Chains A and B, each alone.
Chain A
Amino acid sequence: MFTTILKYELKYFLRNKIISVLFAVLIAITFYALYNGSTFYKKQTSVIEKLKVKDSTAFQTIIQNFKAGDTLTADAKWKYKNLQRASWAIFDNRFNVFWQPKPISVINIGNRDVYPYYQEIMPVSLYMRLFKNEISNPNSLLIGNIDFSYVILFLMPLFIISLLFNFISENKEKGIQSFLETNATSFSNYLYCRLAFYILIIVAILLLLFSMAYFLFFKDVSGILFLKIFIYSIFYSLFWIVICFGVNKLNKTSVFNISFLISLWLCFSILIPSVANQVAAYKYPINTEEISKNIRRVQLNGDNKEYSNVLKKFYSKYPQYYNNDTSETTLFSLAYLAQGQLSDLEGDSLLNGICEKMLLKQKFLKRISYLDPCMYLQNKYADLTETNLIDYVDYLKRLQRFNKELKLFYFKKAFTDDKMDLTYYQKMPKWK
């Protein structure tokens, strides 16, 4: 019986024009989604690679300048002199930091288009630059993307609904249910066989989509990671199959079923996530503007007394850098450094507060996601592809640590007024 039912259900699947068109659309959108994700990933990695080359070239120039020494031209010699003085070099040298995308992020762009994935920083005045970048570049904030996860999260349930909305009601409306209930050995067995067919066909379609993704775009990605994402997607699709079956079991008309199922889809895909996000935004407001407002460009008005006051304040916080022998020529540059660090200190605590709120927000949304499989899978995708808020917070924390390493590197020399030489430069911290 099972094989005959499979055979005829497959014929139904292949002969139904609407299903065939939807299937073709699903395949086409999947291909576009993968292409879109891949283009996005390639764009980000290519920009990062270019910046890495730029940083490396800049560092090589420093090394070459040191090696060339006295043979440099007058202009280059002046720059070379600046390089030797840490309190000056700290403002000349720029560093690019990156939120490096993983190849698997092709599947799920996640937060990668919301937050900046690279930033050019200086060892001092970090926060002024950090959030100036973000605020001046919000063009892709919350636009959303058609990526592979979009297909699985939003389109696959719609496809399942279109296949199964009249799974039982069609039989009732066509007189088949009463015909079979009286005539067949078991109508429920017939239904379960059909259901098994649809489970098989959905798994087969998912397998096709994932194979398409794997062989066209992810030959280098870990198979285990891919398998994990595949298994989560199967469970998510099974959830929708069960929902469709449950709604059909209410014994209502096909029109009722489709309306109810679409309402559920809207609820799980849009309503619950957006309400949860609204509540999260209200409970844990994240306002980076606060940093840009509070952290201003360092401004000193050229008064030695002011410089001394700034340094006094700085030394009270960082006694390890105290230098009794500060000459008048370096007073301004050290005061400038000190002022930058004092405002970074303020930025540090503001950023820590923001990161904490981001994590709390993420935790809150994760808790809510247990009520909504769509949100749950969305989170899982973001976790597995490392494109979620936690990964961005982790990037910010690494950035903070790197910045501290850089400061230490320059401050050591700046406040002792020691010259920076080639050997010292070669110990310069690198972004990992």
Chain B
Amino acid sequence: MLEAISIVKDYKGQKALNYVSFKVNLGEVFCLVGANGAGKSTLIKLFTGQLTPTTGSANIDGYSVAGDFNAVKHKVAYIPENLMLYGHLNAIENLDLFCSVSNLKYTTNELSLFLRQAGLNEVHYSKRLENYSKGMRQKVGIAYALAKKAEYLFLDEPTSGLDPKSIIEFSEIIKQLSKTGITILMTSHDLHRSINDADKIGIMKDGNLLEVIETDDYTHSELEEKYMNYMIN
């Protein structure tokens, strides 16, 4: 389970996060939405050990990330917003390299399988990543999460800059990952896709988590209205 307990994060005297608390249960997809600077990416960074909270705690399976990240690191996969990977290597080679750095050893067939599961078309496996679109590169990142057998996946703005077809494909992948029991915490600007992809949506503004919404309880338009009300007021 992921748990944010009264997290405060100060950046040079400014509050990036202001007593943020929420829980994400196993197998859930939790999407943080909000304007730029709302604190979404900061939360992701706190859960992936890139930042430490000023006060409060980001916990994974009961372990505080700030204090004991190594205990849960093997369960975690993180895909940053602009993941370019190594352009001079192809998908299999990138995957092999990153698996190796994580002390994971797979055969080429196994690596191909992960790429297939991540939704990457086989014809692209041997092409260098310098020719890949952002969506294709993200699939390689997801293949890595599958190879790592990650239980928690953190995605920072995964759909920004993707074309509509890639966004739809990405939604499918998220659903499939969720079905396999992976817990996903992601950030997004796309309210409409979020309601389709996530089980819960957290609306953020100026470092505050304003409300956590169960997506099943709302229609697209209701959610949009709620969101706009928060943003205007």
* Cα A11 to Cα B86 with chains together (Å): 11
The residue in chain B whose Cβ has the minimal distance to the Cβ of A187 is B101
Query: B80 to A184, Cβ gap below 8 A?
Result: no
Query: B141 to A182, Cβ gap below 8 A?
Result: no
Q: Does B97 contact A (CB under 8 A)?
A: yes
Residues 162-202 of A, flagged 1 when their CB comes within 8 A of B and 0 if not, give 00000000000111101111111100011000000000000
Number of B residues with CB within 8 Å of any CB on chain A? 32
Query: A4 to B100, Cβ gap below 8 A?
Result: yes
Q: Does A12 contact B (CB under 8 A)?
A: yes
Query: B49 to A8, Cβ gap below 8 A?
Result: no
B96: which A residues are within 8 A, CB to CB? Answer: 4, 8
Say yes or no: A180-B98 contact (C-beta < 8 A), given A11-B93, A12-B89, A15-B88.
Answer: yes
The residue in chain B whose Cβ has the minimal distance to the Cβ of A1 is B100
Say yes or no: A183-B50 contact (C-beta < 8 A), given A12-B86, A175-B82.
Answer: no
Q: Does A5 contact B (CB under 8 A)?
A: yes
Give the distance to chain B from A268, nearest Cβ to Cβ, in Å.
Answer: 30
The residue in chain A whose Cβ has the minimal distance to the Cβ of B77 is A183
Query: A179 to B80, Cβ gap below 8 A?
Result: yes
Query: B86 to A179, Cβ gap below 8 A?
Result: no
Q: Does A93 contact B (CB under 8 A)?
A: no
* Cα A181 to Cα B49 with chains together (Å): 8
Residues 1-39 of A, flagged 1 when their CB comes within 8 A of B and 0 if not, give 100110010011001100000000000000000000000
B87: which A residues are within 8 A, CB to CB? Answer: 174
Query: A182 to B78, Cβ gap below 8 A?
Result: yes
Query: B50 to A178, Cβ gap below 8 A?
Result: yes
Residues 145-164 of B, flagged 1 when their CB comes within 8 A of A and 0 if not, give 00010000010000000000
Residues 78-117 of B, flagged 1 when their CB comes within 8 A of A and 0 if not, give 1111111111110001001110111100000000000000
A179: which B residues are within 8 A, CB to CB? Answer: 78-80, 83, 85, 98, 141
Query: B81 to A175, Cβ gap below 8 A?
Result: yes
The 17 sampled A-B contact pairs (Cβ below 8 Å) are: A1-B101, A8-B86, A8-B97, A11-B89, A12-B88, A15-B88, A175-B85, A176-B83, A176-B85, A178-B48, A182-B154, A183-B73, A183-B78, A184-B101, A185-B73, A185-B103, A189-B101
